[in-house]
Amino acid sequence: MTTRRKFITSAGAGAVGASLAAPAIAQSKITWRLQTYAGPALAEHVVKPAIDAFNKVAGDEMEIELYFADQLVPTGELFRAMQKGTIDAVQSDDDSMASPTEVTVFGGYFPFASRYSLDVPVLFNQYGLNEIWDEEYSKVGVKHLSAGSWDPCHFATKDPINSLADLKGKRVFTFPTAGRFLTQFGVVPVTLPWEDIEVAVQTGELDGIAWSGITEDYTVGWADVTNYFLTNNISGAWAGSFFANMDRYQELPEHLKELLKLAMDSSHYYRQWWYWGGEAALRVNGPKMQLTTIPDEEWATVEAAAHTFWDEIAAESETKAKVVNIFKQYNADMVKAGRPYRYG
């Protein structure tokens, strides 16, 4: 028995020693492919700094490969590609990527849902939109990661817009829901690949763009081909999000999920000050476009039409009605709060 015990002890110790001495099996690096809605010049601001920071901190554990608008798949196919796992993650609004959810219509520029960029994160984080988006995307195998705001929606045009009548017949590149709303004022929405917009304005295929604020007009080159910038907007901020394939997201260890959240938060914060400062600075100092304005009393009819549009959307489903009611409650609260939240 003593001999047998010694053998087992020494064999066990040897096995442990061999295990410690054996070379470690290298853990394979996690690689994601993320495509943004933005072209290269815009992506330098709206997403690249955050992805670069994530990759730097993640080191040998994970890398996110960043692709620009339409680089792997057309923007309108982003949702399907992510759902299937062809790509792992997306930065876009719900509307542009044609996601098959009840909240898709609210992505991008839902008319007059927000007045300022801070409205968007408050609506998601304090008024319940996060929970609704999470539920809707979980139904279709996609993880809604984080929502944030971008720039307001203004017209950049070749000819001046000084009244609603000036919008009639204008062929404009815009978002699906914004286009649906603007048709009642004679706007003709046109859908084209993002990278074709500048040339389309030059050739006359487009009369203008209602896709961004003035910061993007300068950043991506649209200010070089349009002459006028309308100071009225149909929304105070674009609402967009980061999304991921559900299976790929659930495979991540918890610390990488947390790092991803931090990176997305840094992206949201960067855009808050970059757009807010840029919109003002370029209106005041930008040399390329002349500012025009539709009088407040006339523009008020557009805002009234938006509230009618809200009710039309709310009638389409229970979930849409829930979101619209949140918008109504939020905006009513902001009006009651007064300055600086609302100025009338």
224, 327: one domain: yes
Query: Does residue 14 fall inside a structural domain?
Result: no
131, 58: one domain: yes
122, 251: one domain: yes
Query: Does residue 22 fall inside a structural domain?
Result: no
The pLDDT value given to residue 195: 86
60, 117: one domain: yes
Q: What is the dihedral of CA 236, 190, 38, 224, to 10 degrees?
A: -80
Q: Which stretches of the chain drop beneath a pLDDT of 70?
A: 1-27, 344
197, 321: one domain: yes
309, 295: one domain: yes
Domains in the chain: how many in total? 2
Q: What are phi and psi of 75, to 5 degrees?
A: -55, -40
230, 246: one domain: no
Query: Among 121, 123, 111, which Cα is nearest to 175's?
Result: 111
55, 106: one domain: yes
The pLDDT value given to residue 188: 98
Helices 318-337, 129-138: axis angle to 10 degrees equals 160
113, 159: one domain: no
52, 121: one domain: yes
Query: Does residue 6 fall inside a structural domain?
Result: no
Kindly report the CATH number assigned to the domain that includes residue 227: 3.40.190.170
53, 135: one domain: yes
Query: Does residue 19 fall inside a structural domain?
Result: no
- The alpha carbon of residue 208 and the mean position of all alpha carbons in its chain are separated, in whole angstroms, by 22
What domain range is 230 assigned to? 153-236+287-337
300, 231: one domain: yes
Query: Does residue 15 fall inside a structural domain?
Result: no
Q: Is the pTM of this model over 0.85?
A: yes
The pLDDT value given to residue 27: 66
Query: Does residue 223 fall inside a structural domain?
Result: yes
Query: Does residue 210 fall inside a structural domain?
Result: yes
